[in-house]
Amino acid sequence: MPAIFDSLVHNQGLPAHKAWRVAYVVPFIIIVVIAMGMLFLCEDTPTGKWSERHLWAKETSSTESVSQGKVVDLTSGFSSSGPSTTPSLYNMGMDDIEKKGGAQTPRVVDKDPAALGQIDTLRQDTVVAPTRKEAFRVAFSLSTMAVAIPYACSFGSELAINSILGTYYDKNFPTLGQTKTGQWAAMFGLLNVVFRPIGGLLGDVLYRCTGTVWSKKLLLTSLGLIMGAFELAIGFTNPHNEGTMFGLVAGLALFLEACNGANFAVVPHVHSYANGIVSGIVGGFGNLGGIIFAIVFRYHGSDYAKSLWIIGAISLAANLAVAWIRPVPKTPVISS
């Protein structure tokens, strides 16, 4: 964005107060193109169209691999017991598919053994429609809070820091100018390309080595605590040396953004049958944390260093407060 701004000012001759507004046209176009691509080119679910999900639920109930399971149709709320009358999609020929027609026509399943194995894996999942009470219990269970609160600290910190970092640099290093401080501030977000996946990758490696989700939880807590320590260090020292400041912020980016990735390495294990609810709560808490920390920055005005150490103290306390909670609940909230 700083590069686009500079181009509009120096190459297109726009005044600065117009150039920063026009610059937003570029991400607008990119985001809209990506959104339209997702809407028209991506599958609704791993098994195909959302409108056809009940066909897979019925087919699942008739397969031998899940003959002892119980499938709940999301549209009816009634469980399907006994063999389904729906013809097997594996045995359905092209003539049968063409005769059925209409919007509910099942997809033709590739008869390649590898493809069939993948579909078998997908179809072994139990489809459950949680009640409002069950959804509420999942959303506010201790295990959900144990991933939501750290994410409020890590992603919340990232959102709030992104909003003030350029101004903070400009205050401490006025000789850099707006463009340079903007470019250095942009690096903090750009490092997500590397550091966020690293957090998820480390979590998966630890899980393979130990076979327990506690290893992922320990990684998440450790990254959260180190993140808070870096925020304290920046806040208390308030560096006026460029190398010190940029080095500390890069270190903060490493542990903060890796913490975001490590968090979502734990999320699928927490109430796995209600993963959508847990993921939504965690993501929402990230935004909530951004709002709370933005208020902290706003309350202290241009004293960015003080706001940073306050956020660091909150992050340390919050991560320690939920460190003891089991990552995987002993008993499920939704009975299947």
138-185 pLDDT per residue, tens: 999 999 999 999 999 999 999 999 999 999 999 999 999 888 898 899
Question: What is the rounded CA–CA span in Å between residue 282 and residue 152?
Answer: 8
Handedness of CA 217, 272, 318, 134 (dihedral sign): negative
Check pLDDT > 60 for residue 50.
Answer: yes
Write the CB contacts of 221 (distance below 8 Å, at least 6 apart in sequence): 150, 319, 320, 323
Distances (CA, A) of 47 to 43, 64, 143: 8, 19, 29
Question: What is the rounded CA–CA span in Å between residue 222 and residue 261?
Answer: 13
Check pLDDT > 90 for residue 267.
Answer: yes
Give the per-residue pLDDT at 182.
87
Residue count (the chain): 336
- Stretch 46-64: mean pLDDT, rounded? 66
The structure tokens listed for 138 are: 């999942």
Candidate from 184-193, 251-260, 267-276 with smallest mean pLDDT: 267-276
Check pLDDT > 50 for residue 26.
Answer: yes
Question: What is the rounded CA–CA span in Å between residue 175 and residue 167?
Answer: 13
Check pLDDT > 60 for residue 120.
Answer: no
Give the per-residue pLDDT at 58.
62
pLDDT band for position 300 (cuts 50, 70, 90): very high
- Stretch 47-61: mean pLDDT, rounded? 69
Q: Tokens 């699928």 sit at which residue?
A: 268
pLDDT band for position 57 (cuts 50, 70, 90): low
Question: What is the rounded CA–CA span in Å between residue 45 and residue 74?
Answer: 14
pLDDT band for position 131 (cuts 50, 70, 90): confident
Candidate from 20-29, 56-65, 183-192 with smallest mean pLDDT: 56-65
Check pLDDT > 60 for residue 276.
Answer: yes
pTM of the complete model beyond 0.85: no
More confident residue, 228 or 87: 228
More confident residue, 80 or 310: 310
CATH topology of domain 134-322: Growth Hormone; Chain: A; (1.20.1250)
pLDDT band for position 60 (cuts 50, 70, 90): low
Question: What is the rounded CA–CA span in Å between residue 275 and residue 328?
Answer: 12
Question: What is the rounded CA–CA span in Å between residue 257 and residue 249?
Answer: 12
- Stretch 105-131: mean pLDDT, rounded? 51
pLDDT band for position 322 (cuts 50, 70, 90): very high
Check pLDDT > 70 for residue 82.
Answer: no
Domain range summary for the chain, segments of one domain joined by +: 2-11+22-41, 52-129, 134-322
